[in-house]
Amino acid sequence: QVQLVESGGGLVQTGGSLRLSCVASGSIFSIDTMAWYRQAPDKGTQRELVAAITVRGDTTYADSVQGRFTISRDNAKNTVYLQMNELKPADTGVYYCSADIYVVGVSKSANYWGQGTQVTVSS
């Protein structure tokens, strides 16, 4: 019914940049908070919140990415972005998009996840 698809991951050297995108599609009435999480290779299945953005544009960042990453969204396109600059090897992991979505005909929002996109930062 609802699908989130991430793109933009890849291999980059330390100090480089990447821009991730996540598009939500399906029977969407509206989208509340959208966020990016990452799962580091040495953290098992634990996912860390990287950044989040509300529908009004209020943002939250993990301390480890503050000042280097920027989250933004295009509400007309149901899309959230993550601009990642000054990348470090510690930023390596699978990045997942998450969104709180109101499906058409349903009064309560539900949390949806994408399939993830790999980001690898080489030293």
Q: What is the pLDDT of residues 10-54, one digit of tens each?
A: 999 999 999 999 999 999 999 999 999 999 998 888 999 999 999
Band (pLDDT 50/70/90 cuts) for residue 1 is confident
Average pLDDT over residues 60-72: 98
CB 51 within 8 A of CB 64: no
CB 100 within 8 A of CB 26: no
Q: Which amino acid is at 105?
A: G
Band (pLDDT 50/70/90 cuts) for residue 75 is very high
Q: Across the chain, where does the E strand assignment appear? A: 2-7, 10-13, 18-26, 28-39, 48-53, 59-61, 69-74, 79-84, 93-103, 110-113, 117-122
Q: What is the pLDDT of residues 76-122, one digit of tens each?
A: 999 999 999 999 999 999 999 999 999 999 999 999 999 999 999 99
CB 62 within 8 A of CB 48: yes
Q: Which amino acid is at 82?
A: L
Burial class (CB in 10 A: 0-12, 13-18, 19+), 35: buried
Vertex 40: Cα angle to 67 and 50 (nearest 5): 30
Q: What is the pLDDT of residue 100?
A: 98
Q: What is the pLDDT of residue 122?
A: 97
